[in-house]
Amino acid sequence: MNAPERKTAMHTQQMTYAEAACLALREKMRADARIVALGEDLGRGGVFGQYRGLPQEFPDRIIDTPISEANIMGAAVGMALAGLKPVVEMRVIDFALCAMDEIVNQAAKNRYMFGGQGRVPLVARMPIGIWSASAAQHSQSLEAWFAHMPGLVVAVPGTPADNYGLLKSALDSGDPVIYMEHKELWGLTGEVTVGSEVPLGRANVLTQGGDLTIVTWSRGVSLAVQAAASLGKAGIAAEVIDLRTLWPWDRETVFASAVKTRKVLVVHEAVQVAGFGAEVAASVAEHVGCKVARLGAPRIPVGYAQVLEDESRLSAAKIEAAARNILK
């Protein structure tokens, strides 16, 4: 049974990416007694502080678990089918690979295989991206794996405002949401409209321009904006679009920009080969017929040494160079 909802007056506030997600979860847990969170290290506020204060406020609904991702995800699927709304903490996406059967064959398929009689309204938090000096097993961006799987919603917040608003929408979705925060954005500070929600499936146009469209998400967002600012000094007007969710993704907004600029660059930190950028690029080519290009990481494991890690890491300079290349 739901607790009485506490209305949150709309106002703006500066906060970090981690604080924004924590606030969103706190507000939703206060409003809905069915929401629980389970995973490793939650009792100490989460590895990145994204649950700070919640174990004290909700001691029976913030659940510390053993180190067994398959067990954590399996328990969460059962909770969801029994009427709860679990938030599943995988710590980082690399560890979620131990729970793929529970995600792909149980959570994603239940609604379809049982004719809608079962729903799995869970949110699986799986931080993606390069984690400095953490090497190949802790620095992966595997969003394309989950976008490929029918039955899953995939969210990739790139700002504190989106980490607040998208998490609230994910908790209201009613379907399993793969929620991918970035491992190196937790301290990023920005303005958040408290009390707002960001709809799933709606992109955000961050800069306006008629020369080039840059489509990106997650950590690529701030870098693409930096690259656009640099291009602007040279008289090149780039339109930067943050997808915010990869499934569903906002095809209409991307296509409208592509019709205007006739050149689209898709940017992501994930390996370029078979990355989600290929889906965006192919869709634009099929429906708009303009020039498209991709910028992603090489198909190599992320190295531990700084010089090797930098080969996989996005930068504003790399985005600017790729943009200038497509404009030739």
Q: Which residues are catalytic?
A: 138
Residue among 147, 176, 4 nearest 73 (CA):
176
Residue among 146, 60, 136, 148 nearest 94 (CA):
136
d(CA 191, CA 318): 27
Residue 44, SS3? helix
Q: 53 with 81: CB under 8 angstroms? A: no
Handedness of CA 309, 310, 316, 322 (dihedral sign): negative
CA 44 to chain centre: 23
Q: Are strands 238-242 and 204-207 parallel, antiparallel or unpaired?
A: antiparallel
Q: Are strands 85-89 and 35-39 parallel, antiparallel or unpaired?
A: parallel
